[in-house]
Amino acid sequence: MKNTLLLASCVVLAACSQTNTPPAATKAGTTAPADTAAAPAAAAPAIKLYAMNCGDLEFADVDMFADDGSMKGVARTFADPCFLIRHPAGDLLWDSGVPDAIADAPEGVRPEAFPVHIMRPKKLVDELAEIGLKPADIEYLSFSHLHFDHTGNANLFAASTWIVDADERAAMFSEKARGSDDFANYSALENAKTVQIDGDADFDVFGDGSVTIHQAPGHTPGHTVLLVKLPQSGPMLLTGDMWHLAESREKRLVPAFNFNREQTLASMDKVEALAKATGARVVRQHVAEDFAAMPAFPKPLE
């Protein structure tokens, strides 16, 4: 999580919150005025997307993920991926999975506070090492949202520049959150270099429209999704916890524990519109089939 992207000089929150773009960058979806001299078109940046297995979550009953009762008694195993986006201007880690310490428990763990069996086949630090990286090498960090299965290794990246929705950051460091077991997973980010996304605008991570963060609240106060435009594979939309189950997208299922039901449904509409407008391939991050369809790490999607 390291320093100089086009965002480096934009880490002063006041400046970033007004523009939501790095200096000298255009907003996602915009282009600079055409030059009448007809300069050659710029080549697409060499972006790569890596999908890493950052946990497996086994539920004997996924009733909680549909407040209409339609999934009561259904067992399901969730994928819990982390995504590394390698861009010429720096590396972005999107979500960090469950804590690496779980990989030290051969049988996994079963938290008392949540009805799930959690396993981690390999540590994130070891996965990064397979492609020659250490946590200190990652320039940028962002999460779809604050939950433990997405922020479990956040403290490993406290030297990175953290890009976060303002409402989500406020929730992460609220008095209630500080008293939770999950707080220790990301507490070091409180003093990390931070770019805070205020308002409703999208955030252009690298200033070239190739990687953009889109606000989609409802599951949590500042839940977000990530759009990555790959040179060969085209746009990929990483949707966090927008849809937990294979059935959730079609049936518009809302988890019983979501922060705001109406916001969730509005965000579903927004994300669907974004997918349609961009032609993006939608990745429902917890759906095992979607994760299995990604290239097996360490092979990237380009």
Output the DSSP codes for 21-48: S-TT-PPTT--PPPPTT-PPPPPPP--E
Is residue 161 within 8 Å of 75, Cβ to Cβ? no
Instruction: Name 37's Cβ contacts closer than 8 Å, sequence gap at least 6.
Output: none
Which backbone phi and psi does 101 adopt, to 5 degrees?
-60, -25
Q: What is the pLDDT of residue 222?
A: 98
For the cut 80, the answer to whether the pLDDT of residue 18 exceeds it is no
Q: For 114-128, write each residue's pLDDT tens digit.
A: 899 999 999 999 999
Q: For 44-78, write each residue's pLDDT tens digit.
A: 779 999 999 999 999 999 999 999 999 999 999 99
The β-bridge relationship of strands 76-87 and 90-94 is: antiparallel
Average pLDDT over every residue of 197-213: 96
Q: For 269-300, write each residue's pLDDT tens digit.
A: 999 999 999 999 999 999 999 999 999 999 99
* Amino acid identity at 106: P
Residue recorded with tokens 């946990």 = 55
Q: How is residue 10 annotated by DSSP?
A: G
Instruction: Name 197's Cβ contacts closer than 8 Å, sequence gap at least 6.
Output: 16, 17, 20, 163, 164, 165, 166, 203, 213, 215, 224
Domains and their CATH numbers in the chain: 8-18+45-292 (3.60.15.10)
Burial category of 40 from C-beta neighbours within 10 Å (exposed 0-12, middle 13-18, buried 19 and up): exposed
Q: What is the pLDDT of residue 19?
A: 36
CA 9 to chain CA centroid, Å, is 23
Lateral strand order in the sheet of 224-230 = 203-204, 211-215, 224-230, 234-238, 281-283
Q: In the numeric block, which tokens belong to residue 77? A: 């195993």
Average pLDDT over every residue of 33-43: 47
For residue 245, CA distances in Å to 236, 284, 286 come to 19, 8, 7
N-terminal to C-terminal alpha carbon distance within the chain: 22
For residue 58, CA distances in Å to 52, 143, 247 come to 18, 22, 17
For the cut 80, the answer to whether the pLDDT of residue 29 exceeds it is no
The secondary structure of 180-209 as a DSSP string is: STTHHHHGGGGGS-EEEE-SS--EESSSSS
